[in-house]
Structure 1
Amino acid sequence: MTSATPVGDAHPYLRAATAGVRHHTRSLTTAAPSAPQPADRVHLDVLHAHLTALHRLFDQLAETTRPPHPAAGRHLATAHTRLWQATTALHDAFHLLPAANESAAEADCHPERLPEGPPVLTICQRHLAAGHIVRRKTTPSDLNTPLHGHTTTCSQ
């Protein structure tokens, strides 16, 4: 089954984002092939940027798909919610990692300091902006509900 609009034409930034994820995946595996490196704040920040971009894309797709295809729109909305849960976990992991030039007190997320805060808080600004969209469209119970009972049928 092919779509009428190629993915690159409908969402031109998606191809660039995919290339960015591949680049960071390769840099993690080729940096020291014998000893895998743990995640660092730089990689988590870039991954968070990709997830928030995907989050916006899923939001768009769910909104435009729901009217003509309600069941598919609901599945996309569920993926949108699960992606937000992954983005939140990634943001939390970012703040649990130590920074080379930052004390533990400075590593905490302080939204009240965002306009004047250090550049490392751009992940917090991005996360808060995405969180405002999520709160407008998703209930707290939806955000905390596991994916149990969610089934699909594959047809070829």
Structure 2
Amino acid sequence: MTLRTPLDDAHPYLRAASAGVRHHTRSLAPSDTNPPRRADRPHLDVLHAHLAALLQLLDRLAENTRPRHPAAGRHLATAHTRLWQATSEVHSAFHLLPTTSTEAEANTSTCHPEQLPEGPPVLTICQRHLAAGHSLRRKTTPTDLRAHTTACVR
């Protein structure tokens, strides 16, 4: 006899992360007391980290599902590739946002995490993006990724 986990108790951390994203989305909606808030670099860095974590989750799900259910595994792999596209666009947007005066003085046309005003974090958005891209390219064909690049060129 196996005990099944009730749906409400299944995957509590993933459900909490989803609830956090929904809460954040609602808090960004303009209201009488809350003007619209633009994205800034720290905001996009955190969003990129969330997307990179989702990439790892989808990769594992696709890998574990594919042997027993190949069609479902292919759909999860396709979702993984499309999530990579979103992650790549967030990374690009990060580099197009205005920088602080300290960053503006440095050459920011290329990716130089060591020149961030707060110093290089343990894992910068560019390092995270390169690691996610490397992992993706090991399992995805070049045709699937033809329009995508992991190089930080901005």
Aligned CA distance change for structure 1 residues 121 and 65 (closer, same or farther; 3 Å): closer
Offset at residue 127 of structure 1 (A): 1.0
Q: Which amino acid aligns with 1:136?
A: R
Question: For residues 116-153 of structure 1, what are the alpha-carbon distances to aligned partners after superposition, in whole Å with 9 as ceiling and x for unaligned?
Answer: x62397111211111111011112211237xxxxxxxx
Aligned CA distance change for structure 1 residues 68 and 139 (closer, same or farther; 3 Å): same
Residue 99 of structure 1: aligned partner? 99
TM-score normalized by the length of structure 2: 0.74
| Structure 2 segments unaligned to the other structure (5+ residues) | 148-154
Aligned CA distance change for structure 1 residues 100 and 8 (closer, same or farther; 3 Å): farther
Is residue 2:85 matched to residue 1:122? no
RCO higher in 1 or 2 (8 Å CA, sep ≥ 6)? 2
How many corresponding residue pairs? 140
Q: Distance in 2 between matches of 1:79 and 1:85?
A: 10
Question: For residues 56-106 of structure 1, what are the alpha-carbon distances to aligned partners after superposition, in whole Å with 9 as ceiling and x for unaligned?
Answer: 111011011111111111000000000001100110000100123421623
Q: Any idea what SS the aligned residue of 2:72 has?
A: helix
| Mapped contact 2:114–2:120 kept (Cα < 8 A) | no
Offset at residue 25 of structure 1 (A): 1.6
Q: Distance in 1 between matches of 2:8 and 2:109?
A: 38
Q: Which amino acid aligns with 1:106?
A: T
Residue 150 of structure 2: aligned partner? none
Q: Which amino acid aligns with 2:132?
A: A
Aligned CA distance change for structure 1 residues 67 and 39 (closer, same or farther; 3 Å): same
Q: Structure 1 residue aligned with 2:111, among 109, 112, 115?
A: 109
User: After the TM superposition, which segments of 4 or more aligned residues of structure 1 sit over 6 Å from their partners?
Assistant: 111-114
Q: Distance in 1 between matches of 2:25 and 2:122?
A: 21
Aligned CA distance change for structure 1 residues 84 and 132 (closer, same or farther; 3 Å): same
Q: Distance in 1 between matches of 2:146 and 2:8?
A: 34
Identity of aligned residues (%): 72
Q: Any idea what SS the aligned residue of 2:53 has?
A: helix
Is residue 2:50 matched to residue 1:56? no
| Mapped contact 1:91–1:127 kept (Cα < 8 A) | yes
Pick the structure with more helix per residue. 1
